[in-house]
């Protein structure tokens, strides 16, 4: 039996994913040790390897087959548009992709020519404004603390994830438009799905079951 490799998006998603892998009998104890700097963890009994990678890289590892399976947010999948199978909506990490800005802009975005949009998600932002709304924008790519954009006059609005809304509230910004809901997804490499269908589907079904249990 060959090893199956799972790429986990470092951070909260990885921790929640580890809880599910643990509940279906995998050994994730070494990975849960916060002081470790290791990047590859092995469960010899189940012939599984887990790798911890930056969230935006999970779809790349899975598309190229360096990982058979990935656990990653829908935001990253939408931004990266990789060629892979999205198998399960795990429902955790739920939040929304939104256009946010100063409250006085609510309902008025269409009136602004060359709207300046700052985002960590340039592809999602461009698609939403240009393809869905048919509005030309000037896109400014940022890598974090995106809420600063409208506060320091870098942009009119931002496209970003809103979870609790507290970052917006504490900075005097509001959700102006909701683009789409987001959550963690279980994704699979297309070749792995053919070669290791049985083992992967067993895992997919276990994840579906765990997700359904939580809903009840």
Q: Which residues bind ligand PRP (CB under 6 A)?
A: 144-147, 160-167
Nearest residue to the partner ligand PRP, using Cβ: 144
Angle at 24 between CA 37 and CA 51, to 5 degrees: 25
In the complex, the smallest distance separating the C-beta of residue 175 from ligand PRP, rounded to whole angstroms, is 9
In the complex, the smallest distance separating the C-beta of residue 32 from ligand PRP, rounded to whole angstroms, is 21
* Residue number, 17 or 146, with CB nearest to ligand PRP: 146
The CB-based long-range contact list for 63-68 (8 Å cut-off, 24+ gap) reads 63/189, 64/189, 65/189, 65/191, 65/192, 66/5, 66/7, 67/5, 67/6, 67/7, 67/189, 68/4, 68/5, 68/6, 68/188, 68/189, 68/192, 68/196, 68/200
In the complex, the smallest distance separating the C-beta of residue 216 from ligand PRP, rounded to whole angstroms, is 26
* Residue number, 72 or 87, with CB nearest to ligand PRP: 72
Are 95 and 163 within 8 A, CB to CB?
A: yes
* Residue number, 65 or 165, with CB nearest to ligand PRP: 165
* Residue number, 141 or 197, with CB nearest to ligand PRP: 141
In the complex, the smallest distance separating the C-beta of residue 114 from ligand PRP, rounded to whole angstroms, is 24
């Amino acid at each position: 039996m060959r090893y199956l490799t799972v790429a986990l998006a470092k951070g909260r998603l990885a921790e929640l994913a580890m809880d599910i892998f643990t509940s279906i009998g995998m050994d994730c104890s070494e990975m849960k040790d916060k002081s470790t700097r290791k990047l590859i963890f092995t469960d010899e009994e189940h012939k599984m390897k887990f790798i911890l990678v930056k969230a935006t890289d999970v779809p790349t590892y899975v598309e190229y087959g360096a990982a058979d399976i990935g656990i990653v947010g829908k935001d990253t999948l939408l931004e990266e548009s990789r060629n892979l199978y999205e198998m399960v909506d795990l429902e955790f990490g739920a939040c929304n992709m939104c256009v946010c800005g100063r409250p006085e802009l609510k309902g008025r975005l269409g009136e602004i020519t060359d709207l300046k949009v700052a985002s960590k998600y340039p592809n999602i932002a461009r698609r939403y404004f240009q393809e869905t709304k048919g509005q030309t924008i000037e896109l400014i790519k940022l890598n974090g603390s995106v809420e600063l954009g409208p506060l320091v006059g870098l942009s009119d609005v931002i496209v970003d994830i809103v979870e609790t809304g507290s970052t917006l509230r504490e900075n005097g910004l509001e959700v102006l438009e909701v683009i789409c809901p987001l959550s963690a997804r279980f994704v699979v490499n297309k070749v792995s799905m053919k070669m290791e269908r049985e083992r992967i589907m067993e895992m997919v079904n276990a994840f579906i079951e765990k997700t359904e249990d939580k809903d009840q």
